[in-house]
């Protein structure tokens, strides 16, 4: 085998250096985009969960719209939300429902319309 000249050695060294730089660049490039793909997959999972929640919320709102066409529900909603009452009716809102129920049951015997949200006592006019 013939000895390699200085020029050939330099060419081989330069070629090896160029190939090493190209491989390093590709490695960094692949690593960067692989991390980006993983981050996008995580974001996709979060967005899909949010989408499912929004679909549930949409169904609930559509059900609420359907219920708003029923007069009984509208009356109950207005009584609970805005404190409207029928004639000869007093609406009392209290935070401690359990103790109020016990107190009224023990003093008046019957609690009318107690549903945990709105409490109504029917009064005899006077």
Domain ranges of the chain: 1-67, 85-126
Are residues 80 and 72 in contact, defined by beta-carbon separation less than 8 angstroms?
Answer: no
Return per-residue pLDDT of the chain as tens, 126 residues. Answer: 567 788 889 999 999 999 999 999 999 999 999 999 999 999 999 999 999 999 999 999 999 999 999 988 888 888 778 877 777 777 666 666 566 555 555 555 454 444 454 445 444 444
Kindly report the pTM of this predicted structure: 0.47
Q: How far is CA 81 from CA 12, 91, 94, in A?
A: 84, 11, 14
């Amino acid at each position: 085998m013939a000895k390699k000249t200085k020029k050939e050695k330099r060419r081989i060294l330069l070629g090896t250096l160029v190939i090493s730089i190209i491989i390093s660049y590709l490695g960094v490039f692949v690593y960067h985009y692989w991390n980006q793909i993983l981050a996008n997959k995580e974001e996709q999972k979060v967005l899909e969960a949010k989408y499912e929640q929004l679909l549930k919320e949409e169904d609930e709102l559509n059900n609420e719209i359907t219920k708003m066409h029923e007069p009984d529900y509208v009356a109950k909603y207005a009584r609970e939300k805005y404190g409207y009452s029928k004639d000869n009716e007093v609406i009392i809102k209290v935070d401690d429902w359990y103790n109020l129920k016990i107190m009224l049951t023990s003093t008046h015997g019957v609690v009318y319309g107690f549903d945990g949200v709105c409490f109504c006592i029917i009064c005899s006019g006077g």
